[in-house]
Every structure is written in structure tokens, then in C-alpha cells.
């Protein structure tokens, strides 16, 4: 076996060293495209999927959301719930929010909206609200007569033409808000938030205390307790821990709470991704096999000669496995250069969906390693299979075709 | 050394059967140089390929040093080709991507010799055919005669008991042909190697001990030492 490996390596080495360099470059180029095909589309789909996931986690639901149980409008002991939740292992941060239905009016233009009362300082650890202010500033702890308006409610922003909007609202504009209980307040617009996501951009934010005052609450109520966890993917485990810790209100992961259409969309994207990976893998495997098979056929006479002079079929087969692995390793190397170049390009110039939704491909290193290993396994099979078939042929047929 | 009994090789079936060899029987003693001659299509190359274990006989028995090699499985035939038999092809059959030394060296490596020993063996064999200084050249950088000498070096490097050569001078001029035949003669005299050579050149018989002539797959004459230079 050692002799087979040594001889196989020598044959492969000579073939690479003195073989046709143009053919080698072409094979490597094709293999790099096969690799790129395997990893690029899933990265884009991963980016799209990650974007939707991110929307749900970054704004309305966090990783886990706790809501009032039964027919209750509020979680009545929200501070107690927060205390329990923050003590649970795996929880990174938690905050409470109060949602209220309201109408917002600006210069005779009225829109219906959900206004969420937040604790601004805590939102920095919970959501991306503080980071998506495209005009003005985010709320502060003393922001009692100020409001953040979603971009789709403001004329000129993406999506505003589709929905009713408040016209030319800008930082410093005054808007009148009528809450569902009839209480009216006037707020100065402190900022406009733009998340390119309806759930964010059709809503408005005020300080938690504002909603509390408007609805006459006593300081411990919340319509939601939003939780962020340390490690993505452990939502269900942490949710169970929260329930075990004594929280009586129902807890949901962001995925549980995603509405049906979005969940179906995510499932469809996931299915497309799986299919795309499978098809790419089959096409990749077939192409590698064809390339190596053509290569082996071109060297059929050489295989016959090697057999005729006493080189074992094992050495010959191994030489093609080495050769094939070399081609594929080079293809992966070039493919990785192409891949990361494309990733850099699309990070800087993301794909645009509905003009303002930007999809950036996601680099999943585990997925990359999986594909590299898959390609290497395929290369060994693709090298061994055709060489083994030809090495089984009679010497006379291999050398002289009869 | 070599005993061949009623060796037959047929191609095709029924009415289309071609009898390349039709019952050939002979013996070759150790250390003999034998020429197999005959017109084109007489079966001489077929016979040589079967003797060198490159092809199978349809019928008959073939033994080398008492071992019936005609019925050996492929793995043992491969080992036999590597260790006991050397074969020189008419069209050199060198690996184009290997240098002259590597074409020779690969067999010693296959036999289990170390890299260093294999390389030395290869250089020694190339020196025997006068090509030591061209050991790094690939076949495309060598002339026809030089290629054939590399092919001979490959065949003799492992010092096989039997050397088979299929028209080794077919593509060579007279000078190069004489060089090749001198090498064969020297190997035979120095190492007692048995050499079986297919040729169609009458003057080659100066270098052989015996001439077996085939016609239509059967032996029509088997003459010993008639025209050997020493006789």
C-alpha cells in the first residue's frame, strides 16, 4: 500500500508538473465556478432569511416575548416578570413595552398607528430602534413630550406613497395624537425612524411613561416584555427556563410570533435554499465526475502502459484520486477568492429589494467548511471511479483500443 | 524456462473467427536470445503479448520457470510483469509527462525500493543505454532512437529474467538499431537474461541464438544458431 501511495503520488506529481497548463487552468476555473455555485446562492438566501429573522428579532419580538395571559390587556406585574427573566441563565437583556392604538394628525392629515411606549435607555440592548433614526435623534429618558415617527408615515420616505401619510413631517414638527381612550396629546417629532420594514416604519415610539400616564396605569404594567438571549438558536431552551423560573404569562419565541405569511415565506425560503443546495451539489458532483472522466479517458493509453510495465491498478487509481484532489483543492482555493471578492462587493453594494430593502449575503463558515469537505469527498470519488473503471479494462484495449 | 503448449488465440466468433495463433508449442531455455519472425499478421506480436502477460490465450498452457502463468489472477500477473518480465514496445510507450529517469524510476519505486535507490537504479539503466546525461529530459525532447533506449532502460532496470521486445528497432535507423541490439546482446552475455524479440528484419538474426518463424498462427520453422555471429 505504501508503494502504491508513493507511485500514485509520483504519477500525479508528474502529471501536474508537466501536464498542459492551459487544461489545468481551465479545469481549475470550472471547478472554482462549481464551488462558487455551491456556496454563493445559499449565502444570498441566507442573507435574505437572516434579514427577515433579524427584523422580527430586532424590533417587535426580540428573541423571546412575554405577553399578557388570557383576556388580560396588560402584564400586571411586569417589573416582577422582568426581575425573574433577567435572572434566568442565557438571558442577555429584557425590557417592557406598552402598545397603544392611536391616530396621529399633522396639518389635517390623519393616520392610524400603533404607538409603543418604550424605556429608551434599555432599548439600546434590546432592539435596533435607537440605531435606525434617519432624521433627528432617538428618545431620551426625559423625552416626555416627544415622539419618533416611522418613515412610512412621512411623505418622501420609502413606502409612504403606498400608505396614508402625515405629509411633510420633519424633526421639530408638532403632531397631535389621539389615543384609543380619547386622550389627546401633542408631541414634537424628535426623530424619524427608518427600518425598511412595515412593522417598524408604520408605527411610532414615545416614552413608556407617556402611555402609562395616558392610560392611568400604575407603573408595573406592560403589553410585552421583550427578551434578548446570549446565544442564537437557544430561544426554545431559554423560553422553557423562563417558564420554569415562575413566569406565568405566556412566552413565545420570535419564530412563534412571526405571522403566518412571514413564517410561510421563511419556510419557503428555507425549502428553496435546501433545494438549491441539493441541485448545486448534484450538478457539482456530476461536473467533477465528467471533468475527471474526460481527463482519465484522455490518459487511457497511459493507464494501459503503466499496467503493462507492472504498475498496480491500485497505484493508478490512487494517482487519479490525488490528481482529482489537487484539481478540486485548486478549484476551491480560486472559488474562495471569487466568493470572498463577491461577498465584499455585495456587502458594500447589497442587492436591493423594493428599493430600500438591502439584502447582504451571509457568510456561514460552517457551511463553507461543509462544502469544502463535500467537494473533496466528491473529488476522491470522481478520481477513483473513472480510473478504476479504466484500470479494469484489458491492457490491450487501454493502449491500442482493442 | 518458458514452455508453451498448444497456445491458441482466436478473435471473434463463428464464421468471423480469426485464428491469430492456432496451436503453438515450443520451449525457450534460460539465457537464449530468440527472434520471432514472420509476415505481417502471422501472429508474432500476439504471441509476444501473451508471453509477456499483456493478453490472454484462448487455449493452451504457458509456464515460466515451472509456474503456469497463463492462469494467474490479474494481481499476480501484475506482480509478475513488474518483477520477472521486461517489455519493450514498438512505439516506446513512455509516459510523456515523466522524464527519462522518472519513466524508469517509477518501476523501482513500485518494487518497494527507496527513492534514492530507485533513482540510482534508473541512472544506472540509462547509463547502460548511453542516456545518463539526458535523464531529465521528457520524451518529447528525445529522438526516436533515444526514446527507444529509454524504453529499453525501463525494461532492463529491474534486471528481469526475461525481456520481451516487440519490433524494438522498427522506428530506428540502422545505427540506432545496432545500438539497441548490442545492448540486448550485452545484457544476455553479462546477466544471462532470456530475450524474446519480434522482428521482421533478416539482418537482426545476427544477434540471436534461435529464430522461430510463424505463418498464419502456426510455427513453420524453429532454427537454432544457424546464423549466429559466433557460429
Nearest CB neighbour to A302, from listed B81, B95, B107: B95
Mean pLDDT of all residues in A30-53: 82
**pLDDT tens, A216-228?**
998 889 999 999 9
The half-sphere exposure of B163 on its side-chain side, counting CA atoms within 13 A, is: 31
Percent of residues in chain B assigned helix, strand, coil, to nearest 5: 40, 25, 30
The stretch B195-214 carries a mean pLDDT of 89
- Cβ distance A399 to B93 less than 8 Å, yes or no, reads yes
A261 CB near a chain B CB, below 8 Å?
Answer: no
A162 interfacial to chain B (CB closer than 8 Å): no
Determine the Cα–Cα distance for residues B152 and B92; give it in Å rounded to an integer: 8
pLDDT of residue A211: 94
* pLDDT surpassing 90 at residue B157: no
| Subunit contact B83:A310, Cβ cutoff 8 A | yes
Cell of A136: 433627528
| pLDDT value of residue B228 | 46
Tell me the three state secondary structure of residue A185. Answer: strand
Q: Is A394 on the interface with B (CB under 8 A)?
A: yes
pLDDT number for residue A159: 75
**Predicted local distance difference test score (pLDDT) of residue B230:** 40
Residues 6+ apart with CB under 8 A from A275: none
pLDDT in tens, B165-182: 998 888 778 888 888 888
State the nearest Cα–Cα gap between B36 and chain A, in angstroms: 20
HSE of B73, CA atoms in CB hemisphere, 13 A: 2
Residues B93, A305: C-beta atoms closer than 8 Å: yes
Taking an 8 Å cut-off on Cβ atoms, the answer to whether B154 and A309 are in contact is: yes
pLDDT averaged over chain A?
A: 87
CB distance A313–B78 less than 8 Å?
yes
Are B87 and A308 in contact (CB < 8 Å)? yes
Residue of A nearest to B115 (CA): A6
Cβ contact B93–A308 (<8 Å): yes
pLDDT at A355: 60
Percentage with pLDDT > 70 across chain B? 97
Identify the CA nearest to A265 among candidates A363, A186, A353, A344: A353
* B154 vs B164: CA distance, rounded Å: 12
Q: Report, as an integer, the average pLDDT of B137-161.
A: 87
When the pLDDT of each residue in chain B is averaged and rounded to a whole number, the result is 86
Closest approach of chain A CAs to the CA of B107, in angstroms? 7
Query: Which set of grid coordinates corresponds to residue A352?
Result: 436591493
pLDDT at A35: 87
State phi, psi for A232 to the nearest 5 degrees.
Answer: -60, 145
Torsion angle of alpha carbons A371, A374, A376, A381, nearest 10°?
-150
pLDDT of A144-189, one tens digit each? 899 999 999 999 887 778 888 899 999 999 999 999 999 999 999 9
For residue A306, give the chain B residue with the closest CA. B95
What is the pTM assigned to this prediction?
0.70
> How far is the C-alpha of A315 from the C-alpha of A305, rounded, in Å?
13
Q: DSSP assignment, residue B53?
A: T
Element (DSSP H or E) covering residue B19? strand B18-28
- Which cell is A295 given? 481527463
Question: Quick one: pLDDT at residue A260?
Answer: 58
Give the pLDDT band of residue A88 (cuts 50, 70, 90).
Answer: very high
Residues from chain B that touch A9, judged by Cβ atoms under 8 A, are: none
Amino acid at each position: 500500500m505504501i508503494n502504491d501511495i508513493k507511485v500514485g503520488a509520483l504519477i500525479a506529481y508528474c502529471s501536474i508538473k508537466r501536464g498542459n497548463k492551459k487544461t489545468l487552468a481551465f479545469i481549475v476555473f470550472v471547478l472554482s465556478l462549481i464551488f462558487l455555485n455551491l456556496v454563493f446562492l445559499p449565502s444570498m438566501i441566507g442573507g435574505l432569511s437572516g434579514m427577515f429573522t433579524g427584523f422580527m428579532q430586532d424590533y417587535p419580538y426580540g428573541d423571546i416575548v412575554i405577553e399578557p395571559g388570557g383576556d388580560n390587556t396588560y402584564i400586571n406585574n411586569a417589573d416582577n416578570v422582568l426581575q425573574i427573566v433577567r435572572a434566568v441563565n442565557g438571558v442577555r437583556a429584557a425590557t417592557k413595552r406598552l402598545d397603544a392604538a392611536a391616530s396621529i394628525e399633522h396639518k389635517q392629515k390623519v393616520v392610524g398607528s400603533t404607538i409603543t411606549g418604550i424605556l429608551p435607555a434599555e432599548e439600546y440592548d434590546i432592539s435596533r430602534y435607537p440605531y435606525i433614526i434617519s432624521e433627528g435623534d432617538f428618545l431620551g429618558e426625559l423625552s416626555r413630550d416627544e415622539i419618533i415617527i416611522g418613515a412610512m408615515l412621512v411623505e418622501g420616505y420609502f413606502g409612504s406613497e403606498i400608505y396614508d401619510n402625515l405629509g411633510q413631517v420633519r424633526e421639530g414638527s408638532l403632531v397631535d395624537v389621539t389615543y384609543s381612550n380619547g386622550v389627546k396629546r401633542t408631541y414634537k417629532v424628535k426623530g424619524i425612524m427608518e427600518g425598511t420594514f412595515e412593522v417598524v416604519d408604520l408605527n411610532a415610539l414615545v416614552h413608556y411613561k407617556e402611555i402609562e400616564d395616558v392610560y392611568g396605569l400604575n407603573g408595573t404594567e406592560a403589553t410585552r416584555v421583550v427578551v434578548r438571549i446570549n446565544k442564537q438558536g437557544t430561544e426554545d431552551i431559554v423560553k422553557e427556563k423562563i417558564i420554569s423560573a415562575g413566569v406565568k404569562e405566556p412566552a413565545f419565541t420570535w419564530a412563534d410570533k412571526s405571522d403566518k405569511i412571514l413564517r410561510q415565506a421563511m419556510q419557503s425560503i428555507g425549502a428553496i435554499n435546501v433545494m438549491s443546495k441539493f441541485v448545486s451539489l448534484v450538478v457539482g458532483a456530476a461536473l467533477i465526475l465528467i471533468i475527471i472522466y474526460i481527463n482519465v479517458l484522455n490518459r487511457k493509453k497511459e493507464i494501459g502502459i503503466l499496467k503493462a510495465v507492472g504498475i498496480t491498478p491500485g497505484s493508478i487509481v490512487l494517482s487519479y484520486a490525488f490528481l482529482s484532489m489537487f484539481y478540486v483543492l485548486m478549484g476551491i482555493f480560486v472559488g474562495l477568492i471569487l466568493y470572498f471578492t463577491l461577498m465584499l462587493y455585495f456587502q458594500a453594494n447589497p442587492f436591493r429589494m423594493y428599493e430600500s430593502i438591502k439584502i447582504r449575503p451571509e457568510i456561514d463558515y460552517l457551511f463553507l467548511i461543509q462544502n469544502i469537505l463535500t467537494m473533496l469527498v466528491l473529488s476522491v470519488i470522481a478520481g477513483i471511479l473513472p480510473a478504476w473503471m479504466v484500470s479494469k479494462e484489458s491492457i490491450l484495449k487501454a493502449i491500442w483500443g482493442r | 524456462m518458458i514452455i508453451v503448449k498448444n497456445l491458441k488465440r482466436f478473435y471473434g466468433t463463428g464464421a468471423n473467427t480469426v485464428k491469430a495463433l492456432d496451436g503453438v508449442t515450443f520451449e525457450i531455455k534460460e539465457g537464449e536470445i530468440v527472434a520471432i519472425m514472420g509476415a505481417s499478421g502471422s501472429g508474432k506480436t500476439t504471441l509476444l503479448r501473451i508471453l509477456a502477460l499483456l493478453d490472454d490465450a484462448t487455449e493452451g498452457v504457458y509456464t515460466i520457470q515451472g509456474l503456469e502463468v497463463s492462469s494467474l489472477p490479474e494481481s499476480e500477473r501484475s506482480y509478475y510483469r513488474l518483477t520477472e518480465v521486461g517489455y519493450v514496445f514498438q512505439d516506446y510507450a513512455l509516459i510523456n509527462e515523466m522524464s527519462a529517469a522518472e519513466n524508469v524510476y517509477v518501476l523501482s519505486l513500485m518494487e518497494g525500493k527507496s527513492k534514492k535507490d530507485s533513482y540510482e537504479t534508473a541512472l544506472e539503466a540509462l547509463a547502460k543505454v548511453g542516456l545518463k546525461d539526458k535523464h531529465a529530459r521528457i520524451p518529447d525532447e528525445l529522438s526516436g532512437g533515444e526514446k527507444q533506449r529509454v524504453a529499453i532502460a525501463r525494461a532492463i532496470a529491474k534486471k528481469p529474467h526475461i525481456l520481451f521486445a516487440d519490433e524494438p528497432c522498427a522506428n530506428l535507423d540502422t545505427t540506432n538499431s545496432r545500438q539497441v541490439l548490442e545492448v540486448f546482446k550485452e545484457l544476455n552475455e553479462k546477466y544471462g537474461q532470456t530475450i524474446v524479440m519480434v522482428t521482421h528484419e533478416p539482418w537482426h538474426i545476427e544477434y540471436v541464438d534461435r529464430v522461430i518463424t510463424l505463418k498464419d498462427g502456426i510455427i513453420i520453422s524453429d532454427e537454432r544458431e544457424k546464423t549466429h555471429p559466433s557460429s
